A = this chain, B = another copy of it.
Amino acid sequence: MKTLVKTKFFSFEEKIKLENGLEFGPVTVAYETYGELNKDCDNAILILHALSGDAHAAGYHSPEDKKPGWWDAMIGPGKAFDTNKYFLICSNFLGGCKGTTGPSSINPQTNKPYGMDFPIITVEDMVKIQKKLIDHLGIKKLLNVAGGSLGGMQAFEWAILYPDAVRSVAVIASSTRLSSQNIAFNEVGRNAIISDPDWNNGDYYDKAPPARGLALARMIGHITYLSEESMHKKFGRKLQDKKHIDFNFDVNFRVESYLRYQGKSFVDRFDANSYLFITKAMDYFDLHEKYGSLAHAFKDSKSQFLFITFSTDWLFPPEELKNAARTLMSLGKEVTYCNIDAPFGHDSFLLEFEHQSKIISNFLSSAVDKQ
């Protein structure tokens, strides 16, 4: 039976101060919840999504939906984030295009979409908006914040910015700063969008969107989310609907067909300007630079930490979180580091559930015990 969920909305009029110094507002936040908040309001967990994710983390919006939310395998009765025990919240982040205010939202000053007038935002700004939502829901302290990739970056900022509002933090397939190689891939993706004449300096909401550029950006992304090993196993050099190479520029190999499909289908569900602003927020993420050092960043944190990495994740290599765990240990903080042997590359956090579930489930139980 499909569990049906609805996306809810929370809006506030007052302006918030962004990390870039500008005041910004009003803001609407799209969010979903799963499970029930208990009387003591101490069983709430905030799930933080990655670049192309949204508030729809689990369940189905309608009985006709073919796919559930993006982390449905992890969230539900008896699952890692057990809805029989915990109250789960997931919101679309600031700058997104799935219900929360972003570049495609109407700018009240012009009555037109913000486009490139949207302010440059950071991971800190995303987290500040999430804190507003948590306050609105009447939750003083979250039992846990958890996220993979960009979601993990938000989890880090939660632990640093709101040490009294977070009992425990699960950072998965992520890093304390974006690497040079990752900035490079983001830069190429952004250039693909900006180079598309249909981008029109971000002003395309009443016209054809920059579909070619956004599809290219997504294709590049997809290669980086998989491991060489998983691409080899999934596609190898298998041909698409033919027995022999046919000496033309049509799709020859399955991997080409897969990438073209991923690129095209992304255009139907994502806004190119959001892609620009969110990747920029990722580029700017650097806890070392922002707080002087990693040790300084975490000195006031009161959370219990769990770091999970995946052996074949070359986009966010395990070494990064392993080093962060060492720093936290040297500060006397509680930290668990697990490297899971999984073949799916960076996408492992969305595909590997067996080990991830056990580790997270145990970690949450221990966080409850220590509450």
- A contact residues vs B (CB 8 Å cutoff): 20, 116, 119-120, 177-181, 183-185, 187-188, 190-192, 194-197, 212-213, 215-216, 219-220, 222-223, 226, 228, 231-232, 234-237, 245, 247-249, 252-253, 255-256, 259-260, 263, 276, 280, 283-284, 286, 289, 314, 317
A250 to chain B, nearest CB (A): 11
A25 to chain B, nearest CB (A): 18
Chain B contacts for A249, CB-based, 8 A: 116, 120, 190, 194, 276, 280
Other-chain contact of A179, B222, B228, B252 (Cβ < 8 Å): B228
Once A188-B219, A192-B192, A237-B286 are accepted as A-B contacts, the answer to whether A253 and B183 lie under 8 Å apart by CB is yes
Residue in chain B with minimal CB distance to A122: B247
Question: What are 21 pairs between A and B in contact, CB < 8 Å?
Answer: A179-B228, A179-B231, A179-B232, A180-B236, A180-B255, A181-B231, A184-B256, A187-B256, A188-B216, A188-B219, A190-B249, A191-B215, A191-B216, A192-B192, A195-B215, A197-B197, A220-B220, A228-B314, A237-B286, A245-B284, A252-B283
Once A177-B237, A220-B220, A237-B289 are accepted as A-B contacts, the answer to whether A255 and B191 lie under 8 Å apart by CB is no
Task: Please report the C-alpha to C-alpha distance between residue A215 and residue B196 in the assembled complex, in whole angstroms.
Answer: 13
Would you call A283 and B219 a contact (CB within 8 A)? no
Residue in chain B with minimal CB distance to A121: B247
Chain B contacts for A219, CB-based, 8 A: 184, 187-188, 191
Residue in chain B with minimal CB distance to A234: B180
Would you call A184 and B314 a contact (CB within 8 A)? no
Residue in chain B with minimal CB distance to A213: B195
A122 to chain B, nearest CB (A): 8
A116 to chain B, nearest CB (A): 8
Chain B contacts for A280, CB-based, 8 A: 249
Once A195-B196, A231-B180, A280-B249 are accepted as A-B contacts, the answer to whether A187 and B259 lie under 8 Å apart by CB is yes
Once A181-B228, A236-B180 are accepted as A-B contacts, the answer to whether A120 and B247 lie under 8 Å apart by CB is yes
Which A-B residue pairs are the 10 nearest by beta carbons?
A195-B212, A120-B247, A20-B247, A180-B231, A187-B256, A180-B235, A188-B219, A181-B228, A184-B223, A181-B231
